[in-house]
């Protein structure tokens, strides 16, 4: 346990053995063992946190409290939200089901409020505070913030206007901008499945390899951590030769657009400069994650691909990334294709153009009806595809493995590992790199394992980062 605490490398099997032994003795019902409660390292980045764990009934309650505090969204609430999340994260790492408060004695990060919640669940099976929270306001906030692009501030304004359903919000927003959002609202609110992510990866890879042989392409986010569903598809790309990635994303988008699969999106230029390695603490306040060049958008994928496994062009089942319960960890291999020249002055296409195409097609299908179609009617017509949120991110190779850790997440893991780096090592960690603030130097990494080594942490697999 000491070596776990210090974050010294311990092989995975050994770590689990340590946990099992602890779990068995702690869970054995023997009083002398109960006096010796379980110890976990303080930071989540020093312990494995998996999707499946023993304490869902507690973590679900704590995460409702967290979610509620986040939606209230003032300073005090956001620190409460974090406290709930940290406690929930500790319970997720426990290798046994919690049965007694004494098992919590030596665990850090579980404050008095969280302890009260846990105790009530242990005694009564549920927590009255959580039950009370699930009121009208909370439900409306959850419904409104589930709309793509709607944050808690807008949702609150809508509630103040007296709206309580999506329909009321739709009637209040009829501009063309909004018509687009409403039309795809139900698509974007249906969870993305793993095989849809693999399908997109396959299409993006094919185009990417044609433009830039040797490209490295990796699904990140929840799917890499082993989730089978998510709200979007995150794809991180790089090229081992320095500078090759410059201008690549625009060319890739051009090709995807020519394939007719892009619905809308926004290309953000890279805003990176080296001083950001040290000075970059206010990114998330602006809702920004990092300074990479990226495209955040919506892509059409065949409806059928959420029902059947993706096929490649030859019609055979394709191997699009090794994926098992542990997640997706695939890398594109260089191909012999030479890049065909694409215009470099890519203009982001116009959202409304593509939407108007859809509208006019839909109108034709309605056989000459000139009436305005409701967003819902539009969404139903002309469709053998479903709209999916996709993030495409491009990183220079010398930042890639830090980008990979950052874009794999999860969000709480990132918070935790960054705090750990700062407080325990005096280092600044971001998706762009690691900077030693005492020695005034950056620490490069040539693999994800090296990122962990630089941080003096034992390596955690992506599926062990589900904090
Ligand atoms: N991320 C982060 N901070 C944020 C948002 C994201 O550090 N505010 C990181 C962690 C995960 C990664 O970026 C991708 O983000 P999301 O797609 O939002 O998260 P996800 O874990 O992939 O969740 P989902 O499965 O719902 O897409
Ligand atoms: Mg995601």
Helix locations, 94-165, DSSP H: 112-124, 128-133, 136-145, 152-160
Q: Mean of the pLDDT values across residues 235-258?
A: 95
Percentage of residues in the chain having pLDDT higher than 90? 58
Instruction: State yes or no: pLDDT of 306 exceeds 90.
Output: no
Mean pLDDT over all residues of the chain?
A: 80
Distance from C-alpha of 145 to C-alpha of 454, rounded to nearest angstrom? 38
Ligand nearest to the CA of 222: 1
Residue 7 Cα distances to 42, 47, 92, 460, angstroms = 10, 9, 19, 11
Cβ neighbourhood burial of 154 (10 Å; 0-12, 13-18, 19+) = middle
| Closest protein CA for atom 1 of ligand 1 | 411
176 CA distance to ligand 2 middle (Å): 27
Confidence of residue 303 (pLDDT cuts 50, 70, 90): confident
Pull the structure tokens for residue 412. Answer: 């709480």
Omega before 116 within 30 of 0, i.e. cis: no
Helix intervals (H) in 212-258 = 221-224, 248-258
Residue whose CA is at the smallest distance from ligand 1 atom 13 = 407
Task: For 391-433, write each residue's pLDDT tens digit.
Answer: 999 999 999 999 999 999 999 999 999 999 999 999 999 999 9
| ∠ CA 148-176-389, rounded to 5° | 25
Q: Is the CB of 327 under 6 A from ligand 1?
A: no
Give whole-number Cα distances, 291 to 103, 283, 315, 444, in Å.
43, 9, 39, 18
Q: Which ligand is nearest to the CA of 405?
A: 1
3-state secondary structure of 431: coil
Q: Decide: 55 and 15 in contact? Cβ < 8 Å.
A: no
Kindly tell me if the per-residue pLDDT of 139 is higher than 50. Answer: yes
Kindly state if the Cβ of 230 falls inside 6 Å of ligand 1: yes
Q: Is 250 in the pocket of ligand 1 (CB under 6 A)?
A: no
For residue 411 and ligand 1, the question of a CB distance below 6 A is answered with: yes
**Closest listed ligand to the CA of 409:** 1
- From ligand 2's centre to the CA of 388, what distance in Å? 11
Q: Map residue 43 onto helix, strand or coil.
A: coil
Q: Report whether residue 231 contacts ligand 1, using a CB cutoff of 6 Å.
A: yes
Q: What is the pLDDT of residue 160?
A: 95
Are residues 292 and 273 in contact, defined by beta-carbon separation less than 8 angstroms? no
Strand (E) or helix (H) holding 442: strand 441-442
Give the residue-averaged pLDDT of 123-141: 94
Percent of the chain with pLDDT over 70: 74
Using most ligand atoms within 8 A of CB, pick from 149, 410, 429 the residue to mutate for ligand 1: 410
Q: With beta carbons less than 8 A apart as the criterion, state whether 423 and 43 touch.
A: no
Tokens of 399: 């930042």
- What is the ipTM for the molecules in this complex? 0.98
Q: Phi and psi (nearest 5°) for 234?
A: -105, 120
Q: What is the pLDDT of residues 222-245, one digit of tens each?
A: 999 999 999 999 999 999 998 999
Render pLDDT for 70-96 as a digit per residue (tens, 0 to 9): 999 888 888 999 999 999 999 999 999
> Which pLDDT belongs to residue 411?
95
The confidence score (pLDDT) of residue 29 equals: 41
Helices 248-258 and 194-211, packing angle to 10 deg: 110
Q: What is the mean pLDDT of residues 18-43?
A: 53
Higher pLDDT, 192 or 282: 192
């Amino acid at each position: 346990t000491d070596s776990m605490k210090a974050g010294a490398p311990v092989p995975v099997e050994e770590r689990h053995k340590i946990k099992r032994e602890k779990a068995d003795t702690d869970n054995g019902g023997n009083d002398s063992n109960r006096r010796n409660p379980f110890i976990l390292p303080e930071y989540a980045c020093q312990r494995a946190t998996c999707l499946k764990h023993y304490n869902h009934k507690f973590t679900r309650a704590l995460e409702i409290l967290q979610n509620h505090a986040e939606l209230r969204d003032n300073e005090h609430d956001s620190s409460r939200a974090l406290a709930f999340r940290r406690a929930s994260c500790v319970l997720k790492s426990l290798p046994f089901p919690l049965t007694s408060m004494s098992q919590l004695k030596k665990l850090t990060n579980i404050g008095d409020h969280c302890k009260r919640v846990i105790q009530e669940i242990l005694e009564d099976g549920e927590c009255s505070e959580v039950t009370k929270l699930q009121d009208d306001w909370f439900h409306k906030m959850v419904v409104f913030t589930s709309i793509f692009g709607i944050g808690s501030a807008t949702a609150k304004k809508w509630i103040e206007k007296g709206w309580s359903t999506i329909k009321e919000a739709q009637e209040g927003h009829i501009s063309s901008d909004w018509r687009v959002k409403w039309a795809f609202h139900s698509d974007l609110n249906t969870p993305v499945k793993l095989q849809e992510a693999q399908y997109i990866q396959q299409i993006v890879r094919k185009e990417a390899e044609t433009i830039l042989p040797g490209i490295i392409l990796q699904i990140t986010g929840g799917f890499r951590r082993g989730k089978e569903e998510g709200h979007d598809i995150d794809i991180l790309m790089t090229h081992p030769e320095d500078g090759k990635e410059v201008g690549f994303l625009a060319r890739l988008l051009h090709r995807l657009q020519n394939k007719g699969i892009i619905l809308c999106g926004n290309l953000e230029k890279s805003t990176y400069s080296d001083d950001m390695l040290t000075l970059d603490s206010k990114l998330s306040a602006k809702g920004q994650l990092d300074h990479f060049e990226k495209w955040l958008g919506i892509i059409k994928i065949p409806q059928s691909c959420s029902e059947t496994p993706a096929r490649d062009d030859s019609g055979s089942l394709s191997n699009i990334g090794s994926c098992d319960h542990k997640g997706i960890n695939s890398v594109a291999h260089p191909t012999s294709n030479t890049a065909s020249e694409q215009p470099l002055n890519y203009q982001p296409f116009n959202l409304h153009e593509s939407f108007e195409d859809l509208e006019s097609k839909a109108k034709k299908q309605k056989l000459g009806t000139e009436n305005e179609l409701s967003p819902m009617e539009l969404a139903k017509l002309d469709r053998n595809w479903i709209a999916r949120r996709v993030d495409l991110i491009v990183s220079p190779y010398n930042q890639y493995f830090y980008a990979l850790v950052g874009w794999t997440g999860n969000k709480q893991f990132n918070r935790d590992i960054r705090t750990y780096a700062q407080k325990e090592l005096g280092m600044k960690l971001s998706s762009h790199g690691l900077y030693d603030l005492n020695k005034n130097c950056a620490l490069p990494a040539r693999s994800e394992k090296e990122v962990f080594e630089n941080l003096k942490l034992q390596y955690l697999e992506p599926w062990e980062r589900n904090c």
